[in-house]
Structure 1
Amino acid sequence: MHVELTILMPCLNEAETVATCVGKAHAFLRRRAVEGEVLVADNGSTDGSQTLAEQAGARVIAVPGRGYGAALKGGIAAARGRYVIMGDADDSYDFGALDGVLGRLREGNELVMGDRFAGGIRQGAMPWLHRYLGNPVLSFVGRLFFRVPIRDFHCGLRGFCREAMRSLELSTDGMEFASEMVVKSALHDLRIAQVPVTLSPDGRSRPPHLRTWRDGWRHLKFLLLFSPRWLFLLPGLALLGAGSLAMCVIALRPVQIGTVGFDIHTLAYAGGAVLLGFQMVFFAVFTKLMGIRSGWLPEDPRRERWLAHLTLERALALAVALFVLGIGLAFQAIGAWSETGFGALSPEITMRSVIPSVTSLALAGELFLAGFFLEALRLPLRLGGRRTKRGMTVLDQELQ
């Protein structure tokens, strides 16, 4: 039989509500005459949730790996439907009102997110900290980093095309699975839509599994790691640009802005900003390339062709130029020292050469090492002496 829809519920000790949720889901399938199934992915319940779900008409599978993401991965792997709509088994979402989600899936969208802020959050359904700080901030970060117009990144009710989601090879086991699903869908250009949904207070007498600060940090960490551009590149370029500008100006003469003066002490901090910014830019390059080669970031032919121009030989040539510059500035400082008979020096004069010299020499060393590390990252991935398909990228082809 063709199964159009699987209604998937992750479950861990939801004896008080799972039967109600399964009953509502079956009622929806009957009302809309949808060929479907209700699937409960049990994550090790000890309160009899499995039996109650089966008695209510659900197909129950056991997922041994612990965690919200692990349960959903197991459920997605076992789903029979062309589409999957997932939601928590705590009766906070109405499984009898899935018309909007299913309709958008039938229109061709591959991921349909619920929007609790548009559909309504009933009194007591979401803690104040989650409603006004956690969810809005993390959703804003997600929209900013990945350019996806999703207002509610962490809504637990969402639908997706089963095969499209399987192709993303989702890997996280914890609560950050919710972010991984949206982020990878955006990175792989899946068609994404959102529909209003209502969040009600859950029907459990026990506290929820979600831990505010721990799980919030795991979501934020995931968003940062999957966006080397915002984690490393943009802050690094800002530091590198500001530090270089300050160094070039102050190395010539002190700068006075109103009653505030900037001299050699600011010059030293500018040198630190240049070094840190340079490292962050290369960390962005390393992370992007490593993510593509390892498969957790999608291939980007345009950027790989750009990176193909950043060869070891060019890095070494630039490192030599920076080294020569640093040595030249050092000799300039030594010349000023010799004019005093190698005696006491005025820091306000000599440090304008010494600090840029040290910065240039340090940059030369970092660039020398970074060039070799980048070359190591470009080595083809091998399994049993054979190059894997994912290991051969556009960058490899350009280098051959």
Structure 2
Amino acid sequence: MELTKAQGALGLDSAAAVELTILMPCLNEAETIGACIGKAMSYLARSGVVGEVLIADNGSTDGSQAIAERLGARVVPVAMRGYGAALIAGIAAARGRFVIMGDSDDSYDFATLEPFVAELRDGCDLVMGNRFRGGIRPGAMPPLHRYLGNPVLSTIGRLFFDAPVRDFHCGLRGFNRDAIRALDLRAPGMEFASEMVVKATIQGLRITEVPTTLSPDGRSRPPHLRSWRDGWRHLRFLLVFCPRWLFLYPGAALFLTGLVAMLLLLPGPVRLGSVTIDVHTMLYGAGAMIMGFQAVQFWAFARIHGAQQGVVPESRRLAALLDRFGLEPALIVAGLLVLIGLALGVVSVAMWGSQHFGTLVGMGTMRLAIASVTCMVLGLQLAFGAFFVTLLGMMRSG
């Protein structure tokens, strides 16, 4: 394998001897790429770490590639656009056992990577920089990101996944290349940063943080980051990867709230101080039960399919529940719900008949009708959901 200029300068005899790859994604960073590479090279020379500087270029048109090659970095062209796409390609092309990635806008100091390398050598699989512990210099981070975006998304990430990370979106991070490649990271955009932390946490990798200083970037143009768009993409990713917060908890809350409303209002109206709630509230309660039950079913579907695809670990509790409460028991319960609904419907028609099928007086018939429809809809949903879960199981066994 042909040696790069950086490897030759560092005395490498073969690409296999590389311990560290310093990886930078790049898209038109001619103003700052030289400073970043210079700092990275100075770290390698000063520390004695055998390494390389790798630029994952995302289609620069300002001569960034030529600058990088002139300074001894290796350049890998990446046709697919996106922050994540560039890093995925760069990680695949990296020759080092360890990789430290960071933005090529001169906001991170590549000359001071000792804490990352020390933790990696100590056995950590993912070493995250923490800008809030290391220091954010004036003008380095917009107030929207510093006081809202990063704290909120990092808190959600810790709450959803129990991740030991307080700065989810720090761009400077180091990792064991083989461990991260095994995660099969796929996000092509900015949400790649969240995907790495989430999957590493789910798979039980050893994660730690080190203080990192963030400086104002050295570019004269606006950054590629779009606050609201990319913030939503991060939040969307966190929700999709945690179906219990997206489906289960909201669904269970809706179902239980609707159930309480139905049970309270089925006998008659209820007065709460000066407010009277009646059949109209009962109708909304029925809707809440149906929507909540649908959401809980989607949680079960998402967990089963996600486990089959290797996205989330298998839920032992859910698997045990499904083994005990399989297709046939589910169909029995579904049938009972439908029969109860039909019986309530018959009673409603009888009440209407007692009034000679004319204009109904009072709300008793409407209460029974709402309960009847709710039972039948829930019964059918349960039956269809049970068949779908069985189908997922057949796909898995196949």
TM-score, scaled relative to structure 2: 0.93
In 2, Cα distance between equivalents of 1:307 and 1:160: 38
The correspondence of residues 325-344 of structure 1 with structure 2, limited to 5 A, is 325-344=340-359
Between the aligned residues of both structures, percent identity stands at: 57
1:9 aligns with 2:27: no
Which of 81, 85, 95 aligns to 2:96? It is 81
Following TM superposition, by how much is the alpha carbon of 1:54 offset from its aligned partner in structure 2, in angstroms?
Answer: 1.4
1:166 aligns with 2:178: no
Contact 2:268 2:364 in 1 (8 A): no
Secondary structure, in 3 states, of the residue corresponding to 1:205?
coil
Q: What is aligned with 1:101?
A: 116
Q: What is aligned with 2:229?
A: 214
The amino acid that maps onto 1:39 is L
Q: Residues 262-291 of structure 1, C-alpha deviation per residue, up to 9 Å, x if partnerless? A: 111110000000000000000111111122
The amino acid that maps onto 1:350 is T
Following TM superposition, by how much is the alpha carbon of 1:156 offset from its aligned partner in structure 2, in angstroms?
Answer: 0.4
The Cα RMSD (Å) is 1.5
In 1, Cα distance between equivalents of 2:126 and 2:364: 63
Q: Residues 31-68 of structure 1, C-alpha deviation per residue, up to 9 Å, x if partnerless? A: 22111111111111111111111121211111111111
In 2, Cα distance between equivalents of 1:310 and 1:217: 38
Stretch deviating more after TM superposition (288-297 or 23-32): 288-297
1:240 aligns with 2:255: yes
In 2, Cα distance between equivalents of 1:171 and 1:93: 25
Q: Residues 130-175 of structure 1, C-alpha deviation per residue, up to 9 Å, x if partnerless? A: 1111111111111111111211111100111111100000011111
Q: What is aligned with 1:387?
A: none
1:324 aligns with 2:324: no
Report how many aligned residue pairs link the two structures.
Answer: 383
Secondary structure, in 3 states, of the residue corresponding to 2:267?
coil
The correspondence of residues 60-71 of structure 1 with structure 2, limited to 5 A, is 60-71=75-86
Cα separation, partners in 2 of 1:98 and 1:220, compared to 1, 3 Å: same
Q: Residues 240-277 of structure 1, C-alpha deviation per residue, up to 9 Å, x if partnerless? A: 11111110111022221211221111100000000000
In 2, Cα distance between equivalents of 1:310 and 1:63: 49
Contact 2:304 2:314 in 1 (8 A): no
Secondary structure, in 3 states, of the residue corresponding to 1:343?
coil
Secondary structure, in 3 states, of the residue corresponding to 1:378?
helix
The correspondence of residues 143-222 of structure 1 with structure 2, limited to 5 A, is 143-222=158-237
Secondary structure, in 3 states, of the residue corresponding to 1:330?
helix
1:114 aligns with 2:129: yes
In 2, Cα distance between equivalents of 1:10 and 1:337: 72
Stretch deviating more after TM superposition (332-341 or 225-234): 332-341
In 1, Cα distance between equivalents of 2:287 and 2:337: 16
1:41 aligns with 2:56: yes
The amino acid that maps onto 1:209 is H
In 2, Cα distance between equivalents of 1:26 and 1:361: 70
Which of 19, 30, 33 aligns to 1:18? It is 33
Following TM superposition, by how much is the alpha carbon of 1:378 offset from its aligned partner in structure 2, in angstroms?
Answer: 2.1
Stretch deviating more after TM superposition (86-95 or 18-27): 18-27
The amino acid that maps onto 1:304 is A
In 1, Cα distance between equivalents of 2:361 and 2:133: 66
Q: Residues 221-246 of structure 1, C-alpha deviation per residue, up to 9 Å, x if partnerless? A: 11111111000011000011111111
Contact 2:303 2:315 in 1 (8 A): no
In 2, Cα distance between equivalents of 1:64 and 1:265: 57
Which of 301, 317, 320 aligns to 1:286? It is 301
Q: Residues 293-349 of structure 1, C-alpha deviation per residue, up to 9 Å, x if partnerless? A: 223333444533333334222221111010111112112222322333333323422
In 2, Cα distance between equivalents of 1:65 and 1:225: 23
The amino acid that maps onto 2:291 is L
In 1, Cα distance between equivalents of 2:289 and 2:190: 37
In 1, Cα distance between equivalents of 2:293 and 2:322: 16
The amino acid that maps onto 1:247 is M
Structure 1, unpaired ranges of 5+:
381-390
TM-score, scaled relative to structure 1: 0.92
Following TM superposition, by how much is the alpha carbon of 1:106 offset from its aligned partner in structure 2, in angstroms?
Answer: 1.9
1:366 aligns with 2:361: no
Where do 4+ consecutive residues of structure 1 move more than 6 Å?
none
